[in-house]
Structure 1
Amino acid sequence: MSAFPPATHDVFALDQLLTDEEKEIKYRTRAFMEREVAPIIADYWERAEFPHELVPKLAKLRLGGATLKGNGCPGQSLVGAAMAVIEIARVDGSMSTFLMVHNSLAMLTIGLLGSEEQKTQLLPRMATLESVAAWALTEPSNGSDASALTTSAKKVEGGWELNGKKRWIGNATFAEWIVIWARRADTGDVNAFLVKKGTPGLQTRKIENKIALRCVQNADIRLESCWVPDSARLPGVNSFKDTNVVLAISRIMVAWQPVGLAMGVYDMANRYLRQREQFGNPLAAYQINQEKLQRMLGNIQAMTLMAWRLSKLYEQGKLDHATSAMTKAWNTLRGREVMALGRELLGGNGVVSDFLVAKSFNDMEAIFTYEGTYEVNALVAGRQATGIAAFKALPKKGKKQSTADLAMAGQSPNPKDQQ
């Protein structure tokens, strides 16, 4: 495959919405991805391997820690951090997810909810990517219904004993530190713990046979009498609602990810239509192809504007959960359409990973689902619009709601988590 195509997707001059610093982050990240990652990433994706060789080079971009300040972190604006996310995703969704898990989930949790000692000890090396982190909330039986987590933390002499299972945990097979969310056995409150690689009782196993984000090393985690010291507990986490401090930002980043994938697929399809000829004309000359291409382009402008406005609402302290959910749902839905149109426009070449399109087509399927499925995010937005919770289980007449009923409703059995 030839060099990565030039960027031709910003027809609304959306760069004018960015500060000089945000533009600088965007363009240095773009240059790195086109130069270092694009020529080799398809091979890693096919083998479902993570490109560890790229991590020291990625570290030189000074993206580790993103919006966090101090302890070696760059203190980027939310939009600045998003520019790195989309430019990485434009070339490869897996690398974008790797950095998002490290920055906007694991490091953010430590930076916002950890002790000063934990921040001082861990964040500087994480900011330089010398130490990679993972974040473990999802369980085999609890995806969107995350508040029903069953992994337990039992207080024992000098520390805590963790037992349970986690699933779909990105970076977990090689991360030095994993943030584990668990429910206290004595009070039912949700806490978070830092578990180091190699800790007895911690087992990680790579999930095989994925069709999306194949470079991301998602893992099943098993915790069997896994002991961690008292210093491993994050003091800022005392109930499940504390996850919202982190998820408010990470969900914004996930809303930006489809924008990046869509930009890359559009740029690839635009160049392909101009270069490839059929029946004596470039494919770009045919009206049906032009209609598909402009629809892709229109989606990208709308997706970008929604994600940008979402970021600004957060910075102004005006963001609500429903708006965030609606943006994530909309952008992944429209992004999915861009992927499908791009795949169609490349014909047979749209199903081979050498041309970015097939890879991104598959990667979008994971983003459509994680950080809340499309359906759950749509219903969260619908709940705000109507005042009616569609996913709240209604008890039978005269029957008190059971723990199972509450779990089905997306509620925690612990009333403290609902405060």
Structure 2
Amino acid sequence: MSATSNPATEQVRLYGVCDYYDAESLLTVDERKVLGRLRAFLDEQARPLLADHWERGEFPTELAQPLIDLDLMEPAELTGRGDDGGDAGAGRIPARGIYQGFRIFELARTDASLATWYTSQAGLFRTAIRVGASAEQQQEWMPKVIDFSLKGVFSLTEPESGSDIAGGLATTARREGEGWVIDGAKRWIGGAASADVLAVFARDVADGQVKAFLVDRQAQGVTLEKIHRKTSLRMMQNAHITLDGVRVPESMRLHNVNSFRDVAAMLRAMRSDVAWIATGVQAGAFEAALRYVTERQQFGRPLGSFQLVQEKLARMLGNVTSALSLVVRLTEQQAKGIYRDQDSALAKMQTSLLMRETVALAREVVGGNGITLETDVARFHADAEAIYSYEGTHEINALIVGRALTGESAFTR
């Protein structure tokens, strides 16, 4: 405490050492209270279940409704002006971007699958509606997205196209009468089995442009298969989706999606969420490693007293601090309405690189016990590999940044 601090107004920090430069101070008192409510839920109800469910490759479905009931997306007690274009519903003012970032950070520092599950609704699906739906559609759907009465997933990636989805998207949409017929397949769609609708992106056979549709998960012609044998994000249920002659009414087409340019606008916004996840994962790994080395004894001394261990701890803290500073600044820019491809791409690229090193260092300092689930480190170490690749690989994001720097596109044609 500094000499000028007032003990009466001093607040207990949520993030402590993993937020070394106190980015948390940008949060309001009410925002900290909501995040504290989330912290208590994660520590008391979620954390005890994670190792067993991760090992079995099953999502802890018993946590879903309690997590929804926490009212985290647009908490009633938060009245700050946000950047979501007033999509919070009647009488609700959107929560601020910094709070939304720390909400992701808090989830990810506990578990990457929990963060991915929640942001599939609060980030990906919500962004699809916010960017792609008409004003009338938003008025109808957005309140249901916020309270989870309409659950959806973002269905873009395909079996044969990931990084090249802009040109390689093969799922087709054909206008037929008053509706559309969709044929194709999607892959790696997290949370699809528990969704009400799938936000499916398909190429219009008439004009070759990409359109988007909300497809009923139980519609005739929709088949979901769980992807097995994953070694990363094991709790997250990813699906392979087949669409065979699926009929969708025109009213369920997202009317503001008429080319891949509109899809790119969604990705531009969503990559910042993934950067927050990458930051939270390395914070969780760092904290787990720090706990271990302060408790573990070797050669009659705490493991944390050794020079080489302390050097690795310092590097991990440097990585977490750098990543958190990066995502906070990006979020501040986006809150001002500044959304640039290269900004979110740089954040996703760099935080993922730092995450990869941080979880590896955490694994090193925990030693042999670092490959067991008891210390939490192994879970973060394995899950980081999925985060490193999804929402744009390192190479794709680097080329987006490189294009902005040089004015030259290095993407293959």
Relative to the length of structure 2, the TM-score reads: 0.90
What does residue 236 of structure 2 align with?
A: 216
Rounded to whole Å, the distance in 2 between the matches of 1:110 and 1:26 is 25
1:307-318 alignment to 2 at 5 Å? 307-318=327-338
Aligned residues, how many?
Answer: 389
Report Cα offsets for 1:177-209 as digits up to 9, x if no partner: 110001111111111001112100111111111
What does residue 47 of structure 1 align with?
A: 56
Rounded to whole Å, the distance in 2 between the matches of 1:234 and 1:72 is 25
Report Cα offsets for 1:57-115 as digits up to 9, x if no partner: 10122124695421697621122111110100001100100111111111221233224
| From 301, 325, 342, the counterpart of 2:345 | 325
3-state SS of 2:187 partner: strand
Asked if the contact 1:64–1:74 (Cα under 8 Å) also holds between the matched residues in 2, the reply is no
Rounded to whole Å, the distance in 2 between the matches of 1:327 and 1:202 is 35
Give the deviation of 1:380 after TM superposition.
1.4
Asked if the contact 1:94–1:216 (Cα under 8 Å) also holds between the matched residues in 2, the reply is yes
Give the deviation of 1:117 after TM superposition.
5.1
What does residue 380 of structure 2 align with?
A: 360
What does residue 14 of structure 1 align with?
A: 23
Report Cα offsets for 1:297-343 as digits up to 9, x if no partner: 11111100100111111122334211221111110000111100001
The 10-residue stretch of structure 1 (238-247 or 175-184) with the greater mean CA deviation from structure 2: 238-247
What does residue 251 of structure 2 align with?
A: 231
The 10-residue stretch of structure 1 (6-15 or 105-114) with the greater mean CA deviation from structure 2: 6-15
1:101-120 alignment to 2 at 5 Å? 101-116=120-135, 118-120=137-139
3-state SS of 1:173 partner: helix
1:249-328 alignment to 2 at 5 Å? 249-328=269-348
1:2-401 alignment to 2 at 5 Å? 7-64=16-73, 67=84, 68-70=87-89, 75-116=94-135, 118-148=137-167, 149-391=169-411, 393=412
Rounded to whole Å, the distance in 2 between the matches of 1:169 and 1:309 is 30
Given residue 37 of structure 1, which amino acid in structure 2 is its aligned partner? Answer: A
Q: 5+ residue gaps in structure 2? A: 1-13, 76-83
Change (3 A) 1:8 1:367: same
The 10-residue stretch of structure 1 (295-304 or 316-325) with the greater mean CA deviation from structure 2: 316-325
Given residue 87 of structure 1, which amino acid in structure 2 is its aligned partner? Answer: E
Report Cα offsets for 1:136-177 as digits up to 9, x if no partner: 011111111121211100001221000011111111122111
3-state SS of 1:165 partner: strand
- Could you say what the CA RMSD is over the residues aligned between the two structures, in angstroms? 1.9
3-state SS of 1:155 partner: strand
Report Cα offsets for 1:278-301 as digits up to 9, x if no partner: 110010110000000011011111
The 10-residue stretch of structure 1 (59-68 or 129-138) with the greater mean CA deviation from structure 2: 59-68
Identity %: 38
Relative to the length of structure 1, the TM-score reads: 0.88
Give the deviation of 1:9 after TM superposition.
1.3
Given residue 210 of structure 1, which amino acid in structure 2 is its aligned partner? Answer: K
Asked if the contact 2:19–2:324 (Cα under 8 Å) also holds between the matched residues in 1, the reply is no
